[in-house]
A and B are shown apart, each in its own frame.
Chain A
């Protein structure tokens, strides 16, 4: 199970992910992540609570940062 909840850290928007970021959750996570990123382009992700991640999860995290890849994005 994956839970995604918005939070703030130093007054900056943070999306906290907890649980399993795997193929089973990526479809749902994509929607939430995409929405949050549209609202805050400079969103920080807190992955401290992620217990398991597979390729689909990694790919999801890379997806919206892909175009900024070489510009040293922080995610």
Chain B
């Protein structure tokens, strides 16, 4: 798999996650389920952190870890998620966005960015300070045996990942898997350890003298593979032992998931818990593989198979089974993903081709009409009808809802109004109105100026508003809708309005199609 491409995907996904995080933060008081909102933010930050670890982006891992910890505490009701924290999380969001941008552009973080990060981190720490002991023993289920897992970001470290399923007879043979764990701890630091209990039989089928446990370990060590293999020398027989070296690519983990007896999802979650993979990466990886498979055809499929054979010397039928299992997993993922990302170039090419098709179709239809062949004419009519449908569909592919652009203004309104000390509420109507993506993108900047202008100059300070008999809190409205074949975007506020003489001149010159209206409240 192309690592750079995976990284690009990471950048795109991280930005989307950040957008959703910002959206949640700004609409927190309107959320019907605040708990779920906090959970969603936690998941977003967690995913960003986990994926960053995979790419070795230590700065992001380190920074997002602190934010994640704070969110985790808010999630556990140990922290009140109030105004101050919302403001802080917005700063976290901005800083993460800056970090992601610097990765996207390949620049190193400036000293200013780093200072900013340190400052935010210090404030995050103040929310965490001293209270860690509050985590009652047993209150956290998954990490019972884990070392201080909450405090170390395992994802960013160069960890070996031993994955072990013991031979059921290991206990009867007088060996104790715990002793291996203890020994591993002498070789390095066990950053994370998850006992895998999925294979424990239920109730009476359980033989307490059989070992049905598995271990997924993150070990930070300098030891080499031979040393680690020697640790498991005595249990190798009948056990399933995999050692994944540091900096392994996603495939190695996905391979592991497919090999092991437990369900894919369950294992995926375990690996996520260990910080070596996120569920999201799982999807990304499988998606990328799928893309390449469809582009490269059999080549990719053969490559995967070859890896399996090299690593484990399994016979070809088993490889077929493994690939089948992977395929099923992909299909399930595909059902969950309702949105497919397509590069804009491809869409443009499609639209161009459809345009050509329409012209060619019309010309063949005209020729058929002239030939007087009724059957041919009928056939071209059918073709033309289909072509028209294709054209309509192709054009609608580029349509996006304007709501996303609108909701970006929540942040601007919030920040600017705070800066100016005005209370302003943003109302959005017609967010579901669809526009061509390029237009939506181009709209974003001018809209920003209009909104900023309205907040800056239109809406009056609270005391003036009171004097004019208006409610103290100003209202800024963004509205989109269809009107006689056009899309009308209306930006209005209940402020003092524009200076008529100045505005008529300025607006007719710069944007004649935009409606401005003096509001009367």
Contacts and interface: CB of A to CB of B under 8 A. Distances in A.
Given A30-B206, A66-B200, A59 B211 contact: yes
Nearest to A62: B197
Interface in A30-75: 30, 34, 54-56, 58-60, 62-64, 66-67, 69-75
Kindly name the residue among B142, B197, B206, B208 whose own CB sees the greatest number of chain A CB atoms within 10 A: B208
Given A54-B178, A55-B171, A70-B141, 16 more contacts: A23-B176, A27-B208, A30-B208, A34-B204, A54-B171, A55-B211, A55-B213, A62-B200, A62-B213, A63-B206, A66-B197, A66-B198, A66-B202, A72-B139, A72-B140, A73-B141
B203 interface: yes
Contacts of A58: 178, 195, 213
B197 A55 contact: no
The 6 closest A-B pairs by CB, nearest first: A26-B208, A30-B208, A55-B177, A72-B141, A66-B197, A66-B200
A23 B210 CA distance: 9
B130 interface: no
B283 to A, nearest CB: 20
A55 B177 CA distance: 6
A29 interface: yes
B209 interface: yes
Which secondary structure dominates where chain A touches chain B? helix
Nearest to B178: A55
A56 B211 contact: yes
Given A62-B200, A69-B141, A74-B138, A27 B176 contact: no
B202 A56 contact: no
Contacts of B209: 23, 26-27, 56
A66 B266 CA distance: 13
Given A62-B200, A70-B141, A54 B211 contact: no
Contacts of A60: 208
Contacts of A73: 141
B212 interface: yes
